[in-house]
């Protein structure tokens, strides 16, 4: 899987959060819960997570806070 920078966007007007994990083109999507959509490639690789009505589901400010805790054997 390609290594890219994760991108996080929030559209206040539509109250939608979009967390992009890959620059690959999604071929499909699965709604995991109401308004929580997982975008995937045809090989089931995760491309992005979309959250609709985001402000009702979690504090939006947490989208812009980052805490990195590497697992054993993982170098960041």
- 43 with 2: CB under 8 angstroms? no
**Confidence (pLDDT) at 27:** 96
Q: What is the largest CA-CA distance in the chain?
A: 41
- 17 with 9: CB under 8 angstroms? yes
How confident is the model over 21-55, as pLDDT tens digits? 999 999 999 999 999 999 999 999 999 999 999 99
Could you give the C-alpha distances from 43 to 36, 47, 62, 72, in angstroms and in order? 20, 11, 30, 27
Query: pTM for the whole thing?
Result: 0.81
Task: Quote the mean pLDDT of the chain.
Answer: 89
In the chain, domain spans: 7-64
State the DSSP code for 2.
-
Q: Higher pLDDT residue, 31 or 66?
A: 31
**Confidence (pLDDT) at 56:** 96
């Amino acid at each position: 899987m390609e290594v890219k920078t994760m991108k996080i966007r929030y559209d206040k007007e539509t109250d939608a959060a979009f967390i992009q994990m890959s620059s690959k083109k999604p071929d499909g999507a699965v709604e995991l819960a109401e308004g929580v959509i997982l975008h995937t490639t045809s090989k089931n690789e995760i491309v992005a997570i979309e959250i609709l009505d985001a402000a009702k589901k979690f504090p939006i400010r947490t989208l812009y806070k980052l805490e990195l805790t590497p697992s054993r054997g993982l170098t960041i």
